[in-house]
Every structure is written in C-alpha cells, then in structure tokens.
Amino acid sequence: MSKIEPRIITGLYKGKHLQVPESARPVTDRVKTVMFDLLGDVTGLTCIDLFSGSGNLGIEALSRGVLHSTFVESSPEAIKLIRENIASIGISEICETVLHIKVEKFLEITDTTYDLIFIDPPFERIVQFNLEPVVKLMHSDSVIILKVNKEMPKLTSQLAIIREKKMGENTLMFIKKM
C-alpha cells in the first residue's frame, strides 16, 4: 500500500480511510477539498470516476450526496481495492458499477451520461489522453473535473474551460460542453 491513505473529508462517510494501490498517486485532501468547494452542492447528481485508482473521488462524491457513482479502472489491483473500499464503507448499493476496463475502451462502448465526470489520469498519460470521446458522457449541464500537472490534454472545440485552479504542481480544470 501507498503511505498516503486518503480519507473521506466530509459528508456521510467523513473520516473513513481508503486503501490505495501501490501504483496510484491519490488526490490529496487539500486538492479534494478545493475541488468539491468549487463544485458546490452535488446532492442528487450522478458521477463517473475515470482512472479511479482507489475510488477516492467517486466515494467522496457519494459521501456528499451524489446518488450513484461509476468507477472505471484498468488495474486489477486498483479494482480489488475500490471494491474493498466500497464494501468497508457499506455503500455497494449506491455504487452503480465498478468496471475493470481501460478508460478508452469504456468510452467506445458506453452511451450513459453523467452530471460529474472526474478525470485524474496518470501523469504519464495526460498528454496522450483524448477528451473528445468524453463529450458523449455529457449532457448540457455536465461538468468534467480534470486534474492535471504541468501537462494537459488538448481540448476539443466542443469543450470550454469554465474555471481553473492551480495548486502547486496540480491544476484543476472545470470543463463544460459548449
């Protein structure tokens, strides 16, 4: 396990710690707090956590009132830990799906839309990640929350950054469909 064990910051599951795969670099409490403060009230929304890692962002969203969350992750170790984190908190019934699939493959086969789309790709994949297929996950009010370091994927002409917050090496981008 990684030495950093993220915790749920607020809401129904406040204080619960999450297991993290060795390969993951979890979103810190500080970054997660700012992310959700900027989002505001998420009660009643749906979300998807792409490149889920430990499920940190999707589980935090559930704790804050999101109706259900979908987790997409390609690492078998991470999938195992996401399922264990969900089970240890007792929220299996509101986690719509935990999918063991590459994000790019998932984007090819899905037609579901979500209110919140969390994207926190591994740093080495940020530049190559194509945001264009993510547009089909969006409806008119959807927001992509993209966490990047110094690099960032190219935006398509269908997307616009509506808010950007730099935090040390991290940048949070809130992106809407045009």
- Cβ neighbours of 151 (radius 10 Å): 13
Phi–psi pair at 14, nearest 5 degrees: -50, 135
When pLDDT is cut at 50, 70 and 90, the band that residue 1 belongs to is: very low
29-177 topology per CATH: Rossmann fold (3.40.50)
Angle between helices 56-63 and 29-39 (to 10 degrees): 50
> Whole-number mean pLDDT of the chain?
91
pLDDT of residue 3: 57
Over residues 83-108, the mean pLDDT reads 89
Q: Tell me the pLDDT tens digit for each residue of 144-172.
A: 999 988 777 778 889 999 999 999 888 99
Which 3 state secondary structure label does DSSP give 57?
helix
3-class state of residue 20 by DSSP: coil
Task: Compute the residue count for the chain.
Answer: 178
Q: What is the pTM of this model?
A: 0.94
User: Residue 78 is encoded by which pair of tokens?
Assistant: 């991470």
DSSP string for 36-56? HHHH---TT-EEEEET-TTTH
pLDDT at 96 over 80: no
